[in-house]
Chain A
Amino acid sequence: MSNELLEIDELRVGFDGFLALDGLSLTIGDGELRFIIGPNGAGKTTLLDVATGLTRPTAGSVRFDGAEIAKLAEHKIVRRGIGRTFQNATVFDALTVSENLDLAASSHRRWGLLRPPALSGELESLLEDVGLAQVAHDPAGSLSHGQRSWLEIAMLLAQRPRLLLLDEPVAGMSKAERAATGELLVEIASQRTVVVIEHDMEFVRQFAEHVSVLHAGGLLREGSVAEVQADPEVQRLYLAPDHGDEASDTDEALDANELTAATAR
């Protein structure tokens, strides 16, 4: 077993008396590809928010590579090697695609910041990989929804983090786009540690090995996809038999709910 990269211990997060996370403990091993699922309000996004400094925990600890990070500023956590994407892909609309990517790759630079953006060969091929080379000089604001998500993933890769946290990377994507994203994730996971929050069960079944199920701010089950699916309690809560493939429509409705909740905060 590889050593632990991210250790979450007895994490508690409250918003105005409501506990979004209630004593969650979870560990992610180095080099793992982990899927986190759970019904709405289970605390999945809150977990990501705490791990990246966006939300401060009420109690408990978050250790990355052995060091406590729960009280660090967002950008300092990023510099330690944790990168994330957001539920609604956020890129810089006023900048071009290549400028977006270049900025993502440049946070370690000092005087280099005073030079104009320039794509290295590595970044160029990254753009090729996500199929955005054609639109490299268009403003990111003109991209389609799927393209924005891909750009955000490319930016995350350009940051070269040790741990990648992706919040519903395939939400709103077409079937073909989902498949391509899944393959990309598996490929990334061969070199980095990846945590994916996902709603889309078909996607999870297809690409996940190790799954953690969150419920009501705590960890409900952990195991392989098959184990988790076989668990009666998980089935009752989340994987109702009729909740299968055609669930994506309702999923998106739920996503929208979560989104408004996030902006309201």
Chain B
Amino acid sequence: MEQLATQLFIGLSIGAVLLMVAVGLSVTFGQMNVINMAHGEFIMIGAYSAYVTQAVLGEDLAGWSFLTALPVAFVAAGVIGVLVEHLLIRRLHGRVLDTLLATWGVAIILQQAARDIFGAPNVQLMRPEALQGGITLAGVNMPFTRLTILGLAVGVVVLLALMIDRLPHGRRMRAVLQNRDLAEARGVNTSRVDRVTFFVGSGLAGLAGVAVTLLGPVGPSVGTLYLVDAFLIVIVGGLGHLRGAVVAAFALGVLNTFVEFSTSATLARAAVLLMVPVVMSGFEVSLLTRFLALAILAVGLDLAWGYGGMLSLGHGLFFGLGAYAMAMHLKLEAAGRDMPDFMVWSGRSELPWWWEPFRNAGFATAMALLLPAAVAAAMGYFVFRNRIRGAYFAILTQATVVVFTILLVGYQGYTGGSNGLTDLETMFGLDLGAVSTQRLLYFVTAGALVAVYLLARQLVRSRWGRLLIAVRDTEDRVRFLGYNPVAIKVVAFALSAALAGLGGALFVPVVGIVAPEMLGAVASIEMVIWVALGGRGSLVGAILGALLVNYAQFTISSVFPAGWSYAQGALLVVVIVAAPLGLVGLLRSARGRFDSRIVPTLATKER
């Protein structure tokens, strides 16, 4: 009982951090319709501001560093936030999804910058003496640090509510929130209001960053930990609704600690094994095969996003379902008559019933395609039927993939946990390590890619493909031609998922392993980057993007690891801002200039 109450209290304090992050996110989204993926990095900036403040003040003044850090972090995060707003977000006004991707690029850059300046390992701040210890109330241990965080969050929310309610800026904010055009017509300087709002929203994330330093060590990627949760809060609590955000934040914080509390054992064991080294013989062949498998996924993603306007930040889920379906078969093949090794380690004595059919190669292959398609169809049906699209859809897919990876990691005994399914040695009796097998896989994968490309091209050129574009641009109008856009989108999304599953199924035998990190939230966004860089709305572009980006990642990151993050982030920002149709779009418009023919400028259209 006491343990429960202590857990509850810890949950509340985490909820308090999330709340400070989420209210900032909520006001910027509510007012400017901007999904700022770099918002998490403002937490990181806040945390490092606290770190720097403490270093500058030295040991004598360490007791004051927490209080000093609060305004410092607020201003530091706020200023960088305003810079991002001024240099980037303003220029992408009205293009919600593009803003989302471009700010993701900013996030990558900021994270890498922190890594270069402060180093990759986490840093631990000294806890102010005044906050040592705690009080015990009715058996519940309440450290002063966590009480401080709670107080800080309550103070922040009250101040923000007062500001919105009382101050002139708050009035203007509400005006812009309700009707931007009208407010502008009435003489409200909306871009100034945006700037102030963004400053405050980012600053609040900075404050959250200072709070986080009280909880434990912080690192360059501390922001990503909180961002997804903050998005969930914003969605659950209702956009622009302060009260909803408060309730949702505390609920999620509490939920979080309980889930983590019960799975921490699995997590600890998970970090034991490292990735199986990729077989060196025939290495280049296998490398290329890998990229080709990813290109199949990119074609699928392009169908959904480039043609259908459904930006999925969760294609890792479908890739993962395909990969795991194939990997389960390979795992059983590797185990022979025995149980898969990880199940034995987890103390299981019997194969789960749903593993049994995966002994059959045909069943596993079929599942690799059907399972993602079915999940996508079900998800798509409920989402599209309720006319959820754009950024909401994107965040929803991202949340789904997060849940999926949590499940994968949590059920170690069934899924291999965070190690994934490893030691996949043979496929249909062939040694996966043999050069001849690698060659064969290469031909199979290349053949599959060609077939997928031809199929997709046929589809895109058909009436159905034209309809998909029509739905992307003007969904409501399509209804009045007698089509049901829900059906069109569900089919497109399911097909896209099936292709991602196929990519996953072909990827697994090449690398001989599948693990949750290959298909998590970050991996899912990287998949979108391939298509964005190559050129959405062009099948060749998607394939090129997947091949080039993965090749570049491989070469650059093996020579100069930090360089890759910068390059990827910068490329993403540049492409979204300057060439929304990617490489292929650039090539086309260059050719168009020679032809002096009008190239349809769909580029600036919101997808």
Contacts and interface: CB of A to CB of B under 8 A. Distances in A.
Contacts of A114: 458-459, 462-464
Contact of B463 (A91, A102, A139, A159): A102
B479 A78 contact: yes
A78 B480 contact: yes
B146 to A, nearest CB: 44
Nearest to B467: A103
Nearest to B461: A116
Contact of A93 (B181, B462, B600): B600
Interface residues of B, number: 29
B86 interface: no
B461 to A, nearest CB: 5
B463 A109 contact: yes
Interface in A88-110: 90-95, 99, 102-104, 106-109
Contact of B484 (A73, A86, A117): A73
A113 interface: yes
Contacts of B469: 92, 94-95
Contact of B481 (A78, A113, A115, A139): A78
A106 B473 CA distance: 19
B598 interface: yes
Given A92-B470, A116-B463, A74 B479 contact: yes
Contacts of A93: 473, 600, 602, 605
Contacts of A91: 477
A142 B295 CA distance: 33
Given A93-B600, A94-B602, A83 B463 contact: no
B461 A103 contact: no
A155 B458 CA distance: 25
A113 B179 contact: no
Contacts of A73: 479, 484
A144 to B, nearest CB: 14
A197 B146 CA distance: 65
A112 B480 contact: no
A1 interface: no
A103 B602 contact: no
Nearest to B600: A139
B479 A95 contact: no
Interface string B443-487: 000000000000000110111101101101110110111111100
Given A75-B483, A78-B480, A92 B473 contact: yes
A52 interface: yes
Given A99-B466, A114-B462, A117-B466, A92 B482 contact: no
A97 to B, nearest CB: 12
A103 B477 CA distance: 12
A147 to B, nearest CB: 15
Contacts of A115: 462-463
A47 B479 CA distance: 18
Contacts of A95: 466, 469-470
A141 interface: yes
B481 A104 contact: yes
A264 interface: yes
Contact of A75 (B464, B470, B479): B479
Given A92-B474, A94-B469, A114-B463, A264 B483 contact: no
Contacts of A243: none
Contacts of B484: 73, 75
A84 interface: yes
A145 interface: no
A79 B181 CA distance: 37
Contacts of B485: 75
A107 B483 contact: yes
A36 B556 CA distance: 67
Given A75-B480, A95-B470, 9 more contacts: A75-B482, A84-B480, A91-B477, A92-B470, A92-B473, A94-B473, A103-B481, A155-B481, A260-B181
Question: Which 10 A-B residue pairings sit nearest by Cβ, starting from the closest?
Answer: A107-B482, A78-B482, A74-B479, A139-B600, A92-B470, A113-B464, A113-B463, A90-B477, A75-B484, A75-B479
Interface of A: 52-54, 73-75, 78-79, 83-84, 86, 90-95, 99, 102-104, 106-109, 112-117, 138-139, 141-142, 155, 159, 260, 264
12 contacts: A73-B484, A74-B476, A75-B485, A78-B481, A83-B480, A86-B477, A92-B474, A94-B470, A94-B605, A113-B463, A115-B462, A117-B463
